[in-house]
Structure 1
C-alpha cells in the first residue's frame, strides 16, 4: 500500500553516500552543544533571520506542547477544523481551548475570527497557514488583522507555517506577540528525524527557552539538518522537486474530476476533495493500492485528502483516477 495520507515527503533529501558520510563524521559520543548552534545559524541564514530569533524542538509537536505550557494563563483559540494536535496538547496540559467554526467548504470569515477573539479573550490564537486540511493560504491582510487584534487584547498570535514552502512566501513583521512555527517534515523531507522551529523576537524566544531541554535535538538529526542548510543549492533543488510534485497532484484532479467533485485550491503538498463522488473515488483508489486520508469525524466525512507521491507513483495514481472516471461515466450513462 502506497501511503499518501499523512502529507509526508515521498522523497529523501540525501543520497546513501551523503548520509553515510554525515553519520561517520557525527560525534554522537558527545552532547550536541555546538551542533545546535550551527543548525540555528544555518537555518537563520537560509531565511534571512538571526539565530537569537529561533528555537528548535523535537518536531513542531513538541513546540506546540511548549506553547501550551508557557503561554500566559487563559484559553487557546484555534480554527475548526485545523491541525488536531492543537486540541490534543491543550487537553494534555489542561488548557481550555475554544474554536472558530468554519463556514461552508472549510472557509473562515475574518470578521467571525475577530469577533470570536473578542468574545473568548484567548491567551493565544493559533492557526495553520496554509490551512490544514483545506490547503488555502490566507493573505497578509488577513493575518495582520488577527495579529493586531491579538495585540489589542494582550495575547499572542501563533502562525503554523508547516506548508509555507509549498505556498507563496511572505514577510511578516516580527513582533513580540507574533510567533511563526515551521517544520522540516514536509518540504525538507525529514519527518522521521523530528525537527521543528519557532521564530519570533529574541525576547519571546528567550521566554520559550525557559522551558527548553538542555539538548533539545539529537546529534544525528542536527548533523543532517546542518548539511542541508550548508548545501543550499542542493536543498533548493530538492524543495523545487517537491513543489513540482504538488503542482502535478493538484492538476491531475483538476483535469480529470473537477466537474464531479469539489477540488480545493491548495498551497500545500496535498489536495482535498469533497462530495459523494469524492468518496467513491477515494474508495476506488484505496482498493487499488494507494492509501488516501479519509475522515471519520462527522463534519469531515464528505472529504478525502491526497498527499504527494513520487513521479512514478503519480503516473499510477493518475491512471487510477482516469480509470475510475471512465467507469463513473459509463454507470451514469447506464
Structure 2
C-alpha cells in the first residue's frame, strides 16, 4: 500500500551517500552535548531566531505531554476536530478536556471559543495552526484574541504549527510568556522518523518547560542528520518548495476531478480533507487500488466519521492516483 494517511514527505531530503557519510562521522560512543548545540544553532540561523529560546524533544508529542504536566491543573481547551494527541495526553494525566465542536461545514464559531475561555478559564488552549485534520488556517485575529483572553488570568496559548511551513503567507502570531510555539521537522523537512519536535517561547516559559527536560532528549544520529540539512539552507528551501508543489498538485487533482460531487476543504497543508455522501466510497475505491488514505469511521468523532483525508505522494504516485479517481468518477 502507498501511504497517504500520515502527512509525511514522500521523499527524503538527503541522498543515500550523504546519510552514509553522516552516519560514519557520527560519534555514537559519546553523549550528545555538541550535537544538540549544533542543531540548535543551525535551526535558529535558518529561522532567524534566538537559539536560547529554542529547545528540542522527541517529537512535538513530547512537548504536548510536558505542557499537560506543567501548565496548571485546570481544564484544557481544544477544538474538535483537531490533533487527536491533545486529548490522548490529557487523558494520560486525568486532565479535564473541553472541546468546542466545529459547525456542519467544518468552520468554527470563534465567539463560542471566546465565551468558553471567559467562563471556564482553561489552563491552556492548544490549537493546530493550520488545523489538522481539516487543513484550514485560523484567522490571525482569532489567535490574537484568544491569547489576550488567556493572558488576563494566567492561561497559556499553545500554537501547534506542524504545517505552518506550507502556508504561503504565514500570519503574525502573539507573543508573551503565555504563548508557546510548537514545531516539528516531521513534515516539510522530511524527517518524520527522526522524531524531532521544537518548542519556543520567552526565557521564563522555556525555563518552565525545560524544568522536566531529559539531559539528552534526542539521539546523536537524528541530531547530526537534522543539523546537516539545516546547514544547507538553499538546498533545504528547494526541498521545501518541492513539498509545496506536490501539495498544490494534490489539491488540484481533488478539486478538478471530484470537487463538483463531493466537498474538498481549502487546505494550507500537505493534505486535503474530503467529506460528503460520496467521500467514503471514493476513499474505499482508492484503498482497493493500492493507496491508504486516512479514514475516520472508527475515530469516535461523529463529525468526521464519513470524511477521508489524503496527503502528498511522489509525482508518479499522484499521477496514478488522479487516474484512479477518474476511473471511479466514470463508473458512477
Q: TM-score, normalized by length of structure 2? A: 0.97
Whole-angstrom distance in 2 between the partners of 1:158 and 1:20: 37
List aligned pairs for 1:239-258, cutoff 5 A.
239-258=240-259
Contact 2:144 2:174 in 1 (8 A): no
**Alpha-carbon deviations, 1:195-228, whole Å to 9, x = none?**
0001111111111110000001110000011001
The runs of 4+ residues in structure 1 deviating greater than 3 Å are: none
Shift in Å at residue 169 of structure 1? 2.0
Shift in Å at residue 145 of structure 1? 0.9
User: In the alignment, what sits opposite 1:140?
Assistant: 140
- Select between 291-300 and 21-30 the one with higher mean Cα deviation: 291-300
User: In the alignment, what sits opposite 2:306?
Assistant: 302
User: In the alignment, what sits opposite 1:277?
Assistant: 278
Whole-angstrom distance in 2 between the partners of 1:161 and 1:215: 24
User: In the alignment, what sits opposite 1:331?
Assistant: none
User: In the alignment, what sits opposite 2:49?
Assistant: 49
Whole-angstrom distance in 1 between the partners of 2:279 and 2:76: 33
Shift in Å at residue 173 of structure 1? 4.0
Shift in Å at residue 103 of structure 1? 1.3
In the alignment, is residue 93 of structure 1 matched against residue 127 of structure 2?
no
Shift in Å at residue 171 of structure 1? 3.6
Shift in Å at residue 41 of structure 1? 1.2
In the alignment, is residue 323 of structure 1 matched against residue 327 of structure 2?
yes
Whole-angstrom distance in 1 between the partners of 2:48 and 2:158: 20
User: In the alignment, what sits opposite 1:160?
Assistant: 160
Match of 2:318 among 314, 325, 334: 314
User: In the alignment, what sits opposite 1:332?
Assistant: none
Whole-angstrom distance in 2 between the partners of 1:206 and 1:44: 18
Whole-angstrom distance in 2 between the partners of 1:288 and 1:207: 49
User: In the alignment, what sits opposite 1:33?
Assistant: 33
In the alignment, is residue 264 of structure 1 matched against residue 268 of structure 2?
no
Whole-angstrom distance in 2 between the partners of 1:57 and 1:30: 19
Contact 2:143 2:174 in 1 (8 A): no
Note the residue ranges of structure 1 that are not aligned, 5 or more in a row: 329-334
SS of 2:278 mapped into structure 1: helix
In the alignment, is residue 220 of structure 1 matched against residue 216 of structure 2?
no
Note the residue ranges of structure 2 that are not aligned, 5 or more in a row: none
User: In the alignment, what sits opposite 2:205?
Assistant: 204
Shift in Å at residue 170 of structure 1? 3.1
User: In the alignment, what sits opposite 1:2?
Assistant: 2
User: In the alignment, what sits opposite 2:20?
Assistant: 20
SS of 2:190 mapped into structure 1: coil
SS of 1:247 mapped into structure 2: helix
How many pairs does the alignment contain? 328
Whole-angstrom distance in 1 between the partners of 2:173 and 2:277: 39
Aligned-pair RMSD on alpha carbons?
1.0
User: In the alignment, what sits opposite 1:234?
Assistant: 235
Contact 2:77 2:99 in 1 (8 A): yes
User: In the alignment, what sits opposite 2:70?
Assistant: 70
Shift in Å at residue 308 of structure 1? 0.4
**Alpha-carbon deviations, 1:66-113, whole Å to 9, x = none?**
110111221111111110100101111122111111112221121111
Q: Structure 1's 174 and 41: CA in aligned 2 closer, same or farther, altered over 3 A?
A: farther
Shift in Å at residue 174 of structure 1? 2.6
- Select between 93-102 and 251-260 the one with higher mean Cα deviation: 93-102
